Structure 1
Amino acid sequence: MKIVQAIKKGDEPFVFQNSNQLKEPLVLVFGNRYMLESEHIFNEVRALFPEGHIVFGTTSGEIIDDKVLEGTVVLTAIEFEKSKILVKRCNVKDYQHDDKKMGTKLAAQFPKEHLKHLFVISEGSSVNGSALIEGIEHLNNNGCGLSGGLCGDDDRFEKTLASYNESPKEGEIVAIGFYGDTLEISSANYGGWTTFGPERIITKSQGNILYELDGKPALDLYKTYLGEKAKELPKSALLYPLSVKTTENSEPLVRTILNIDEVENTMTLAGDIPEGARVQLMMSSVDDIANGAFHAAELAMENRKSSPELALLISCIGRKLVMDQRTEEEIEEVKAVIGDNTVISGFYSYGEMAPFSGQDSCKLHNQTMTLTLFSE
């Protein structure tokens, strides 16, 4: 595996951290939404990698090595020497927001033989990540792994962009299939958030839209907990996500509120919140989040036969807001576990995709650090 990385700031050209001649590389370009809206960005990257498979995604912060950047574009180009990749795309507008069907159609484009892993970079503004994952896994009967994340837009929640081999645009979902018998790919996630306050029952919801808790308007109830911070919604919701437990014995899922509807008095979350589920508010501290990142890295490294050459990190914008000036500490915790020889790239997101520890099926998470580790 050969890897080169570069950083672009403002109108300056990309500055490469290292150099290498790559053949038909996978080129991951994660960056600030305003910069990826530039009409020149695709041609600029294409000129650097004429044979590259170029995948774009907007972020709420860019990760490269042990650094967290803002208002930049980070580029990581990877040549797999013993393996193959296949990249496919789709757009939410072509499926009338039937995200499960969209996921099924997307996954069906990948031949199953020798497919080791799918890594998904999805638009993050309107997609129901739970339904998308359910659709992708609907045809998954060969034990293929699945991980990835939802694109971000800092804490603006205006729009997110992604693309494959074209200029970034709204509504895109890009999936990268990794093929090869020598590939070793592992993924894991962990949060570090704790519940507080009373447990409430979801009495009315539809998909990822929450209407009522304990028979009362959910948004009104949530605002009473936030107090003065309610004026800053939906941004302030990132500091107080919901723990959602669908059954007595299920692992609780963390759900971030992506948007609110003052007219309908509802909240739109990043993934499904079924009626009958029990929810509680959550909060965290800097130390809890850093420790959570360390534990996520430990889980991703469990039972690996070889050291990872590449680590793709997707962490939640909510974690970044809590960490503030200390955000890089969670990346440093990850690096302490996976080692200095692993190339690190990634971004801060509106949602993370990975299985729970010890499980095969993927889930949509919020407020977690998610790692996908690669070696050939």
Structure 2
Amino acid sequence: MATAVGVGFSTQRNSVEAGREAARAAMLQVAMARPDFVFVFATVGHEQQALLRSVREVTGGAPLSGCSGEGVITWGMVDESNFTVAVMAIKSDEMRFGNVSVNGDGRSARQVGRALAEETYRVLAPDSFACFVFADGLAFDFEPLLRAFEGGLPKDQRLPVFGGLSADNWISRKTYQYHNDEASSGTVSCVILSGTAQVAWGVNHGCTPVGTKRIITRCKGNVIYEIDGIPALEAIREYVEGDLNHHWNKLSLNLCLGFRLPQHLQTGYNEYVIRYMMAKDDRAGSVTIQSDVENGTELWITRRDKELMHEGLKSTTERITGQMGGRPPKFVLQFECVGRGRVLFREQEKLELLTQLQTRLGTALPWIGFYSYGEIAPISGCNYLHNFSAVVVSVY
């Protein structure tokens, strides 16, 4: 048997029927009686608990992980509507799947990261080769959580971490993380893959600097108060035409902050890791990002470039095929920033980008993904949170 993988999706508005339809389609695709593991991504128009119950019913109670996204992705299909669900069912005698979940319970990001490490340790094995994480995109300062998670694991069992921060439909009100029967908020869902398979991956963002180096001169945690001795918002206003407040939503989707990576991490990626300005405080003149920073940190104001995005996806597939060495993918997971969906591309443009990406890796591959509030993938062996990026992971 090796590994059999089926993918199904549904756009039905009835959550129970949508879950059943997507799960049945996934299992029928490869004539599967009961999968060993199930990935699920869905949008938030659905009644999340009912959706999961129906998927679990069809899949015989197989272990399940995933989360809500602003949209879902499968082979040849991108759907950012409010009622869509994608299911990947996997049966394998080459891989094993261990999934855990941790509730935030009002704890700090670092405390949640350490708790996740404790839970994950129970399902780690000597042949574990990859970790997938789906965390609440609104509840956590994720970078400290990630560092605490890694630090809580034995050094010889630290793994490449992939995944994304769960999303909703741009309301930023409530996102969901899936673990078996439960669709929860304020949690982290984690999957450990073990066995004889391997992973190949690529990540790109398609952003370019629009000015010279700037310096963070006052900050606290993930809030930047001053850049070059002036309020952060005042510094950003230098790059904006018109009223900053009136155009903030559009501005924050096109301008972002770039932090230069150490030289030894830039190979095969880019000079900068990108951060989305997820919130601003007009009174304090500050902006909030998804990772902690320190006074004296260098940054660059960057903007998105569609041509660079196209080039980045091409280099991503070249990197993945090079890592696989001619072996075909068993299945592919894609984690795409919400800012690279319909807010930037017309429908036809999105499909063209997806088609180019997918066909470079194979034909009709089992493929599933979602639009996230932050993407997770390693750069040169170091796990990072990314924004405005596309992360593609091939399990082969």
Q: Would the TM-score normalized by the shorter structure come out above 0.5?
A: yes
Quick one: percent identity of the two aligned structures? 22
**Residue 331 in structure 1 maps to residue 342 in structure 2:** no
Whichever residue aligns with residue 217 of structure 2, its letter is T
CA contact (8 A) 2:336 2:375 kept: yes
Cα distance 1:48–1:130, how it changes in 2: closer, same or farther (>3 A)? Answer: same
d(CA) in 2 for partners of 1:103, 1:282: 33
What is the CA–CA distance in structure 1 between the aligned matches of 2:249 and 2:104, rounded to whole Å? 23
The separation in 2 between residues aligned to 1:335 and 1:240, in whole angstroms, is 28
Root-mean-square deviation (Å): 2.3
CA 1:96/1:75 → structure 2, altered by over 3 Å: closer, same or farther? same
State the SS of the aligned residue for 1:90: strand
Equivalent residue for 2:131? Answer: 118
Structure 2 residue identity aligned to 1:69: D
Q: What is the TM-score when the length of structure 1 is the normalising length?
A: 0.90
Question: Displacement, 1:120?
Answer: 0.9
CA distance in 1, matches of 2:32, 2:207: 43
| Structure 1 residues 32-55: Cα deviation after superposition (integer angstroms, max 9, x where no partner) | 1221x4442122112111231122
Match of 1:135 in 2: 148
Equivalent residues of 1:115, 1:177 under 8 A apart: yes
- Which amino acid counterpart does residue 7 of structure 1 have in structure 2? F
In structure 2, the CA distance between the partners of 1:21 and 1:89, relative to structure 1 (3 Å rule), is same
Q: 2: CA distance between counterparts of 1:273 and 1:86?
A: 33
2:148 is aligned with what amino acid?
G
TM-score normalized by the length of structure 2:
0.86
Aligned positions of 1:292-371 closer than 5 A: 292-305=312-325, 306-320=327-341, 321-325=343-347, 326-356=349-379, 359-371=380-392
| CA–CA separation in structure 1 for the residues paired with 2:364 and 2:238 | 48
Q: Which of residues 45, 67, 73 is equivalent to 1:57?
A: 67
- Matches of residues 201-212 of structure 1 in structure 2 within 5 Å? 201-212=215-226
Q: Across the two proteins, how many residue pairs are aligned to each other?
A: 371
Find 1:26's aligned residue among 34, 37, 40. 37
Describe how 1:1-376 pairs up with structure 2 within 5 A.
1-9=3-11, 10-11=13-14, 12-13=17-18, 14-15=21-22, 16=25, 18-19=28-29, 20-35=31-46, 37-71=47-81, 72-93=84-105, 95-98=107-110, 99-138=112-151, 139=153, 140-142=155-157, 144-180=159-195, 182-223=196-237, 225-226=239-240, 227-228=242-243, 230-234=245-249, 236-245=251-260, 251-305=271-325, 306-320=327-341, 321-325=343-347, 326-356=349-379, 359-375=380-396
Cα distance in 2 for partners of 1:268, 1:296 equals 29
Q: CA deviation at 1:143?
A: 5.4
Unaligned residue ranges in structure 2 (runs of 5+): 266-270
SS in 2 for 1:197: coil
Deviation readout 1:47-83 (Å, 9 max, x if unpaired): 1112311223111221011221022111111122222
The residue aligned with 2:268 is none
SS, match of residue 308 in structure 1? coil
Listed one character per residue, the Cα deviations across residues 252-275 of structure 1 (whole Å, up to 9, x for unaligned) are 210012222344432221223332
CA distances 1:298-326 after superposition (whole Å, capped 9, x unpaired): 22222314211211001111122222331
* Worse-superposed segment, 266-275 or 74-83: 266-275
- Pair 205,247 (structure 1): closer, same or farther in 2 beyond 3 Å: farther
Indicate the larger mover: 114-123 or 7-16: 7-16
**Per-residue CA distance 1:97-120 (angstroms, 9 max, x = gap):** 335434543443433421111111
* Between 306-315 and 40-49, the greater mean CA deviation after superposition: 40-49
Change (3 A) 1:94 1:230: closer
For residues 234 and 270 of structure 1, do their structure 2 counterparts lie closer, same or farther at Cα, with a shift above 3 Å needed?
A: farther
Contact persistence 2:52–2:182 (CA under 8 A): yes
Counterpart residue identity of residue 8, structure 1: S
8 Å CA contact 2:177–2:185 kept in 1: the answer is: yes
Q: Tell me which amino acid in the other structure corresponds to 2:208.
A: T
Cα displacement (A) at 1:246: 6.3
Q: Tell me the distance in 2 between the aligned counterparts of 1:8 and 1:248.
A: 45
Q: Matches of 2:289 and 2:188 in 1, distance apart?
A: 18
Q: Is the partner of 2:60 in helix, strand or coil?
A: coil
